Structure 1
Amino acid sequence: METLEYHELVQRYYGSRLEIHGNLKTSASCMSPSTPIPQSTFDALRLVHPSVCKKYSGCGLVVPEKLQGCKVLDLGSGSGRDCFILSKLVGQSGHVIGIDMTAELILASRKYVQYHQQKYGYEKPNTIFVQGYIEKLNETGIQSGSLDVLVSNCAMCLCPDKKPVLREAFRVLKEGGELYLSDIYSSKAVPEHLKQDPVLWGEGLSGALYWRDLISLVHEVGFSTPYLLTASHIMVHNSELQKKASGITHTSATYRLFKLPKNRKQSDAVVAYKGTVPDHPDLLKFDMYHCFETDIEVTVDAEMAAVLQHSRFSSDFSIQSSDKPAPSPKCAPQVNPLVYFLWAIQKPSCICIFLYVLHYMKRKKEILVSNSYHCN
């Protein structure tokens, strides 16, 4: 199929066929978050109109920290649920744009803009919805370097060519901006004949990116290393789809990618988290490997140092060039974060991988982390 045919397929699949998210045939849209939901996000979610939540079909919850005053773009906004959560979190001074190719979803989302404006007590709306393609943001009029944060919730897997999506995301981000990317990834390259199946494509399975290709693609475009935050195995409920996709497993994973300055300083650093990110006074879990405990100095590599220094988190850390040894920030000591992704994609019997902080011991100044598996 050509790109236009894929777009038309997705528009039909999500515009008329999927009236509620329960019509989907995989567990991708009902994933429980692998980390506790911050209170502010939970409060915002409770305020979203029930009809909007009913039509939601993303991969869990995609809401990064510290969004007050930010300009945010949701790539593939669907029913608008994530946009309305973000609308609350960015505040009246922030701005949220939702873009989706499906006219029915854009029209449905626009119906609730005024509802949420009034619900949040805003003087004017801070959210707009635009019909368009996430690989063609230039056609929507979004300017280069104009946005602080991009989020994407199981949208890239519905695009036949992933590189233009990442390239456009990189273009519209400000220097230091973040792409908070949740999507579906496959255990191997998907054969072409499976990409022709409308249901497999609509479910995001046959359009899933082979997980190894993500790293090479983001580096080609110019992004930082992808920082893995969560990874959960996707269950296929439909027996016919299981048979078609036999031999390929799928994982829902969330990554953080940053647009860093080209001429940045390349050196390790000793950093200390100040405890100033809302909802995270004692500990900031940045990804599966980096957990920053308040007021504790740790050493990070040159790229992570650049992420902290040039992103919206710069005021939340003290950062000094590394000239003395310090412990590393560890969510999972002695374990490469890639291992968690491999566990999720190679263990079909596991519903989810939950990585979370069980206990915080202030006296010993150490973090105890448990990997909990819920398996059949």
Structure 2
Amino acid sequence: MASVVHEKVKSYYSSLETGEDLQTSAACPAPSRLLSPSAKTALQQVHPDVCKRFLGCGVVVPEKLKGCSILDLGSGSGRDCYMLSKLVGEDGHVTGIDMTSELVEASRKYIQYHQELFGYAKPNTVFLQGYMEKLGEAGIKDSSVDVIVSNCVICLCPDKRAVLREAYKVLKEGGELYFSDMYANKVVPDSFREDAVLWVDKWIFKNMSEGHKKQCDIKYASGTYRIFKLPKHSIRSKALVTYKGTVPDCEEHFAFDASYSFKTNLTMDVDAEMAAILQCTRFSSDFTVQMTDEPDPSLDSTRQVYHLLNPFQLADRLGSCIKQCSKTGSTAACGTKTTSGNCG
């Protein structure tokens, strides 16, 4: 089944010239928050032909990327990669990986254009053909990446656990997987996977017959998760943290995720996982952290933590789609109210 799904997805995407060629009227929800000024400027500088062929949805841009090594899983037309290449700067690096040779070849055509536009002495962007489930075979070294992004692509992979395992391997300690994707409330039937249009265009439910809807009763949610690779034994206790206002474009307020929003110079309590994230990742210099030695009850409540990570339960509780979340290892956190999009 895995190879069949891969081939159908590759065949479908290679046949598309622009985003307007998608065969359904499906559309992903609008981003739950506005782009930062820096990201907006960078996106506006991407070559129009690259943007025209963009086949994803939304924009996936985590904060504080200057100097980072970034990997884009399912880079498609290269739009996000070129935007990120501006944000990481000349000392940073962006790698895009996609299994569709036509998209990889098309993306490579604009490397020199963006290098010259951004005033870099040499290119800081490369595109590789390969599978997200086999990053090592594609040439991505273990513990070599600061940030991994993915824009509504992992949902298309037949073996999602393999994607997450590979992402964990190539991330540096303290690195982040930041991805937006679609989620179903039950296993999607093989008959849908075998239909390239239904499978690739994400919003399968909108394109099913009424009979299929009644038979399957499948619902979909869209959400953005942020997951961190932390050192062993770094999650210890709760903490008091104070945001310094130093993250670019977040001078007064840093909306980290749906659970935590930090105001500059305001001290607040955080749980043990968030304390570890703020101490062990690229955000460590942006916070003062005072450990309280107070045990975090959630560390002994695995079942409860996973319950809170369910995007459908969060959407029901909050009355909207999932915004973004942050947790460690193979878990992620919470949702928030949004003013746009729907959850199906």
Category of TM-score, reference length = shorter chain: 0.7 to 0.9
Q: Secondary structure at the match of 1:139?
A: coil
Q: How does 1:309-320 map to 2 (within 5 A)?
A: 309-320=279-290
Q: Which amino acid aligns with 1:8?
A: E
Q: How does 1:255-274 map to 2 (within 5 A)?
A: 255-274=225-244
Matches of 1:4 and 1:81, distance apart in 2:
27
The structure with the largest strand share of the pair is 1
Does the CA contact (< 8 Å) of 1:253 and 1:341 recur in 2? no
| 1:321 aligned residue (263, 266, 291) | 291
Does the CA contact (< 8 Å) of 1:299 and 1:322 recur in 2? no
* Distance change (3 Å), C-alpha of 1:97 and 1:241: farther
| 1:251 aligned residue (221, 237, 261) | 221
Q: Secondary structure at the match of 2:83?
A: helix
C-alpha deviation, 1:241, in angstroms: 6.0
The aligned residue for residue 276 of structure 2 is 306
**Which consecutive residues of structure 2, in runs of 5 or more, have no partner in the other structure?**
295-306, 325-335
* Distance change (3 Å), C-alpha of 1:13 and 1:373: closer
TM-score (norm 1): 0.78
Q: How does 1:127-138 map to 2 (within 5 A)?
A: 127-138=125-136
| 2:191 aligned residue (167, 190, 193) | 193
Matches of 2:322 and 2:317, distance apart in 1:
15
The aligned residue for residue 7 of structure 1 is 6
Does the CA contact (< 8 Å) of 1:79 and 1:108 recur in 2? yes
Matches of 2:181 and 2:209, distance apart in 1:
19
Q: Secondary structure at the match of 2:123?
A: coil
1:104 paired to 2:102 = yes
Cα deviation 1:210-241 (Å, max 9, x = unaligned): xxxxxxxxxxxxxxxxxxxxxxxxx83x4x56
**Which consecutive residues of structure 1, in runs of 5 or more, have no partner in the other structure?**
207-234, 325-335, 357-368
How large is the RMSD of aligned CA atoms in angstroms?
A: 2.7
Tell me how many residue pairs correspond in the alignment. Answer: 317
Q: Secondary structure at the match of 1:257?
A: strand
C-alpha deviation, 1:161, in angstroms: 0.7
* Distance change (3 Å), C-alpha of 1:290 and 1:241: farther
Matches of 1:4 and 1:292, distance apart in 2:
45
Matches of 2:170 and 2:250, distance apart in 1:
28
Matches of 2:7 and 2:80, distance apart in 1:
23
The aligned residue for residue 328 of structure 1 is none
C-alpha deviation, 1:173, in angstroms: 0.2
Does the CA contact (< 8 Å) of 2:230 and 2:276 recur in 1? yes
1:144 paired to 2:142 = yes
1:277 paired to 2:247 = yes
Does the CA contact (< 8 Å) of 1:99 and 1:130 recur in 2? yes
Matches of 2:106 and 2:248, distance apart in 1:
32
Q: Secondary structure at the match of 2:133?
A: coil
C-alpha deviation, 1:21, in angstroms: 1.4
Matches of 1:45 and 1:99, distance apart in 2:
19
The aligned residue for residue 229 of structure 1 is none
C-alpha deviation, 1:119, in angstroms: 1.1
The aligned residue for residue 202 of structure 2 is 204
* Distance change (3 Å), C-alpha of 1:120 and 1:345: farther
Q: Which amino acid aligns with 1:66?
A: K
C-alpha deviation, 1:55, in angstroms: 1.2
Matches of 2:340 and 2:192, distance apart in 1:
31
* Distance change (3 Å), C-alpha of 1:192 and 1:6: closer
C-alpha deviation, 1:263, in angstroms: 2.2
Matches of 1:203 and 1:56, distance apart in 2:
13
